[in-house]
Structure 1
Amino acid sequence: MKKLRIIILFLAAISLSRCAKQSSPQGGPRDQEPPKLLQSNPETQELNTKPEEIVLQFDEYIKLDNPSKNIIITPRLQKDEIVTTALKDRVVIELNQELEDSTTYVFNFQNSIQDLSEGNPAENLKIVFSTGPFIDSLTVSGSVNHYWPKRQFDYRDVIIGLYLENDTTDLFTAAPYYLTRADSLGNFVIENIRANRYRAYAWHDANNSTKAESKSEAYDFLQDTITVESNLEGLQFNLSQADLSELRFSRSSFTNGSYDIILNKWTVEDNIGVEGLGESIFYSKEESSLKLFSREEIADSIQVNLLLKDSVGNKIDTAIWAKFPKNERRPDDLTISANSGLNFTDTLKAILKFNKPIKEIKTDSLFIPVDSTNQIQIDRQMFFFTDSLKRTELAINIPVLDSLPIQIFTLTAMDSTFLDITGTYNGEALRANYRQIKPETLADVLSGNIEGSNGPFILQLLDSKGEKVREEIIEDGNEFTLENLQPGNYQLRVIEDSNGNKRWDPANFYENRLAERVFYFKDDTGKIGEVILKSGWTNEGIIIKASKPTGY
């Protein structure tokens, strides 16, 4: 009996040992299979159903990734009422609202449902059902472009929305009735649309609100309603940003030597009417403020007429009463900035900017040292104020011989060279460096044509960082020629200056006015291309094709 018991224990130990050896090894290949939908309630393509919740059953445990953004529901539902949960291998969407009669609903899950272990998203997952006897099947498709693209911009954050023609809401006030998101290339399709008339918009939904923010998010719109009776293709949107808020005063007062007019945003046109402007009264501009300066104190208030305009056309047309009493405080310091670091061939072109209007310039302390005994003296014929009503920007053009024994030219303004209108001198010396280069090191010519648009144009040459290095106004024709350019890789940008005001004008949604078109030289793949310039080269025959205008 004892022997039998020992034999049984021995056989059990062997069995356990074999079981241990047969267990699954740790690790193994990574799970790359996406979760698969086993069933749903309602089923996709189901008719005559009004569910209170949507239930999805999968073949493995799953998780949700930002369902409020990634689950696209059309037509519009109150997303704040919807509760989406994931439990083990099921997703439950509680609608908490009544669905419309005879309406096709689409729940496009995109990448919102993922497996629990590796985050693989369920592929092409979409549930379509109707509360009526048929499924709406019309589609609207097209593409989205951005006039001012940024490197980190992602077209997948762009919403394209349709609003019913008689809907009192719009892209700034409520989510659209039908919506979709663009793909990474800017292409989009809105599916399962009911035949009707719609207004169409696109915007960069950076904050995931399904509404556009006019101050901070780029947008575009079709000027006319669209009739969807059959599949509609080729809609084009061109995004750009425009602050549509009303232009208004924040405050105005005399502060430390200037009468300050504070606005809520930047203006593009400033028409100031006041007696003595440009003679005894000048002004400067900083961000969203205008500062009026007077050479002398003025005991009584004087009338200042203002006609101001922002970039979208909002205006202020009014009069204020400005005061210039004796200033008891120490005036602000006079500050100077220069466009140092530029190269030149035969004429050094310097720009000096001041924070206050300049009253006097002592030319004997404005010069370029050549060596310990010689210098180039700057005389009054070499400089001028770019705006005589401001006197805050000084352009200096200095002819330089290429026989001088230096390459780096240091424009020097000693302390007390400049006296501003408040009686303050520059307290520190200014030294700005410029490099003289040989003409033969430059590229000779860059020329070409602009196709698909009529001028006038603003042609801009951008460096590898996207910074503007040259700008030319083309008032007539479609040809352009740029000469004497430094070698390097450049981009070419064109603004279609439709109204000829020599600046880009953004869209104004409330006036149903589209932004002026902006387009670029592109390579064979359709991406923004680079133009390579080398010393002594002539690069001719560049074709810049206008992008497709907003519409269809």
Structure 2
Amino acid sequence: MKRILLLFIFSWLLFSCARVGSPVGGNKDTIPPRVVGSNIDSARISVPIDIRELRIDFDEYITLKEINKNLIISPPIKIKKILPSGVANKYLLIKWDEMLQANTTYNFNFGNAIVDNNEGNALKYYNFAFSTGEKIDDLYISGEVKTLIPNKDAKADEKSLVVGLYQVKDTMNYRQKPYYITKADPDGYFELNYLSPGKYRILAFEDANSNSVFDAGKESVGFLKEELDLNQSISGLKIDLFPSKKKVRYTEMKEVPGGILMLFEGNPDEVKVTAKGNRPENYQVTHVPKSDSLYIWFDAKKENLGITQSENLKFAYDNGVKKDSASMFYRFNAKNEMTLSNAKGNLLPPNQDFVFSSNYYVDKIQPEKWKLVSDSIQQEFTAKVSEKNPFEIRLSSNFKEGKKYSLTVPKETVSSFFESNAKSYRFDFQTDKTENYGTFFVTLENAPTHHFWLQMLNETGDVAYSKFGKETKQTFNAVKPGKYQLRILVDNNENGSWDTADFENNEFAEEVYVFEKKIDIRPLWEIREIWNLNPKKDGPETTPQLPATPTDTVPKNIKSK
């Protein structure tokens, strides 16, 4: 009996110990941290200008999430220290060294940076405002920033839409942070709060590098041409972002097959280049107007340029903005040769030319020596160098659906200035059937009076099909099945290019229209749409939009990928 009693006591103790560490359950904490005090009194006015820190106390332990990206202070203050950093605590501390401005309202916008330590619940869009004057300024501006196509060169987590106000002064430096600044929500909505009356210029931009300063030519931009005379709050402001204009400047030179590639930013209209000295003695320069690439072609073997060792080659250039010179140490690559390739695949859409390309500028072709064969029967054809891309050759023939073709291009029948194809090429391809494609008809109402590019963008945002002209009725034949966005870029100044926004010279981008309805192309279907470009009349609305990667029929100043 005694043994049974001891066993019972031991079992009870074991069960009790097992229950000590067991979870008690309950709902998950979803409540964000709550502010319980600060080192600035509750009125938050008449704050001394020599104050050097802001401390905010919370009811629980907090951490800061991406505080450097989230925290925006208006007017800007250079921060010396921010806590917590790494270890959670119950207060937030910000320190600075500079003296504050008198009679000024300061707003600390923390975004979603303040989170509790346990569950990561964010204190969303938290602001702390105080004034060194007798009152807190209470004017505001709210509105929407719209950009429909993201900048593919920037990573998604590095991007944010920023809206700022600059005070209108005799001299204005837009390379400094705006006097007032805020970040837009993911849907583009923004608020600028605690503003004082005055005259401002408003600027919105895609802050890709998170420096709170607009970087022209690298970030999309939107602005109003007129100054804002702020004496009462403004709501419902609309700002559309467009790619920003790059300044024309030389960037670099590098060796390429056949010569040297000289690169420029800003898409110069024309670039003139001459060799300094007598190296190379004989050369050709090619540059497509409003493009960033200029080629210098020469015969390195014949002139013994950079064959045994690198040679410093110097060139003078005039890009229309600046006259200067550049140099590089050139070393000939023995593996370089003219090559031909079919980068667009072996399945040719119906009623299309067969296109192949060269890595050299094509100066001359001898199509009379080529052979196009189908079912062992030689076919008639014509061929020419593309007018829009001198690195491409277009071959036209009466291609039959479902037929297989073979094109033979013998050696030395495609020539550049100092080189020709050293070997023969054979391209095998097949013409696809019409039943695998759809047709799209569109009628434009209230169409632009200037020439325009009518484009069909695929689901990745790239231009799949494009037409240029003024016609109000357009037909796209042999369109691959898929969903497309229809867009128009207007050549308002009729210069053959779609011009981006120039904030420095207060010039908007040229007009852009986007058909809000997706175009769903299906095999053998004929899709018809009427597009009214005047949003004041009945029909789908139009929306300004950024340009995506174009085909060779779009503006010259937008490069193909």
So what's the TM-score if we normalise by structure 2? 0.76
Distance 1:505 1:410, change over 3 A: farther
SS at match of 2:165: strand
The aligned residue for residue 211 of structure 1 is 213
* Aligned position for 2:394: 395
SS at match of 1:132: coil
- Of 174, 177, 180, the residue aligned with 2:176 is 174
Secondary structure of 2:270's partner? strand
User: CA offsets, 1:10-47, max 9 Å, x none?
Assistant: xx999999986885633734322211111222145521
- Residue 164 of structure 2: aligned partner: 161
Q: What is the distance in 1 between the residues matched to 2:360 and 2:16?
A: 85
Contact 2:66 2:113 in 1 (8 A): yes
Does the CA-based 8 Å contact 1:248-1:316 persist in structure 2?
no
Q: Give the distance between the partners of 1:340 and 1:101, measured in 2 at CA.
A: 65
CA distance, structure 1, for counterparts of residue 355 and residue 42 of structure 2: 69
Residue 306 (structure 1) shift? 7.4
Give the Å deviation of 1:189. 0.9
Which of the residues 427, 430, 437 maps onto 2:433?
437
Aligned twin of 2:552: none
State the match for 2:76 in structure 1: 76
Q: Distance between the aligned counterparts of 2:332 and 2:114, measured in 1?
A: 68
Q: Distance in 2 between matches of 1:148 and 1:123?
A: 27
The residue aligned with 2:196 is: 194
Q: Which moved more, 1:235-244 or 1:16-25?
A: 16-25
| Aligned residue identity for 1:182 | A
Q: Where does residue 25 of structure 1 map in the other structure?
A: 22
Structure 2: distance between partners of 1:408 and 1:137: 73
Counterparts of 1:120-135 in structure 2, within 5 Å, are 120-135=121-136
Any idea what the Cα deviations from partners look like across 1:82-116, whole Å, max 9, x if unmatched? Answer: 53436521111223221111111112222111111
CA contact (8 A) 1:358 1:392 kept: no
The CA deviation at 1:328 is: 10
Matched, 1:540 2:529: yes
Equivalences for residues 52-451 of structure 1 within 5 A? 52-79=52-79, 81-85=80-84, 88-146=89-147, 148-149=149-150, 157-166=160-169, 168-171=171-174, 173-242=175-244, 244-248=246-250, 258=259, 260=260, 262-265=262-265, 267=267, 269-270=269-270, 283=286, 288-292=293-297, 308=319, 315-316=320-321, 332-341=336-345, 343-346=348-351, 348-361=353-366, 363-364=368-369, 366-371=370-375, 373-378=376-381, 382-387=382-387, 392-402=391-401, 406-427=402-423, 429-431=425-427, 433-438=429-434, 442-449=437-444
TM-score where L is the length of structure 1:
0.77
In 1: Cα distance, 2:448 partner to 2:187 partner:
24
Question: Looking at CA atoms only, which structure, 1 or 2, has the larger radius of gyration?
Answer: 1
Q: Work out the CA distance in 1 between the residues paired with 2:200 and 2:94.
A: 28
**Given that residues 257 and 331 in structure 1 are in contact (C-alpha distance below 8 angstroms), is that contact kept between their aligned partners in structure 2?**
no
Q: Indicate whether 1:516 and 2:501 are aligned.
A: no
Superimposed CA distance per residue, residues 43-67 of structure 1 (whole angstroms, 9 cap, x where no aligned partner)? 4552111343211111111111122
For residues 292 and 395 of structure 1, the distance between their equivalents in structure 2, rounded to whole angstroms, comes to: 23
Which of 45, 58, 61 is 1:47 aligned to?
45
Q: CA separation of 1:88/1:256 partners in 2, compared to 1, >3 Å: closer, same or farther?
A: closer
DSSP 3-state at the match of 2:397: strand
Is the Cα–Cα contact under 8 Å of residues 268 and 292 in structure 2 kept in the other structure? no
Give how far 1:498 is off. 1.0
Please report how far the alpha carbon of residue 221 of structure 1 lies from its aligned counterpart in structure 2 after TM superposition.
Answer: 2.6
For the aligned residues, what is the CA RMSD?
4.2
The 10-residue stretch of structure 1 (241-250 or 103-112) with the greater mean CA deviation from structure 2: 241-250
- Rate the CA distance shift 1:450–1:187 in 2: closer, same or farther, 3 A: farther
The aligned length equals: 499
Partners of 1:340 and 1:432 within 8 A in 2: no
**Hey, what's the Cα distance between the residues in 2 that align with 1:123 and 1:354?**
54
Deviation (angstroms), 1:459: 0.8
- Structure 2 CA distance, aligned partners of 1:266 and 1:130? 44
**Aligned counterparts, 1:442-461, within 5 A:** 442-449=437-444, 455-461=450-456
Q: Report SS of the residue matched to 1:60.
A: strand
1: distance between equivalents of 2:367 and 2:474?
42
Give 5+ residue unaligned stretches, structure 1. Answer: 1-11, 275-279, 299-303, 309-314, 322-326, 524-528
- Report % sequence identity: 23
Which deviates more from structure 2 when the two are superposed, residues 28-37 or residues 425-434?
425-434
Q: Deviations over 1:115-138 (max 9, x none)?
A: 111111124422222111111111
Distance 1:539 1:282, change over 3 A: same
Distance 1:156 1:281 in 2: 42
Aligned equivalents of 2:284, 2:444: Cα separation in 1: 46
- The alpha-carbon distance between structure 1 residues 398 and 445, as it changes in their structure 2 partners (threshold 3 A), is same
Q: Which deviates more from structure 2 when the two are superposed, residues 347-356 or residues 90-99?
A: 347-356
Amino acid at match of 2:115: Q
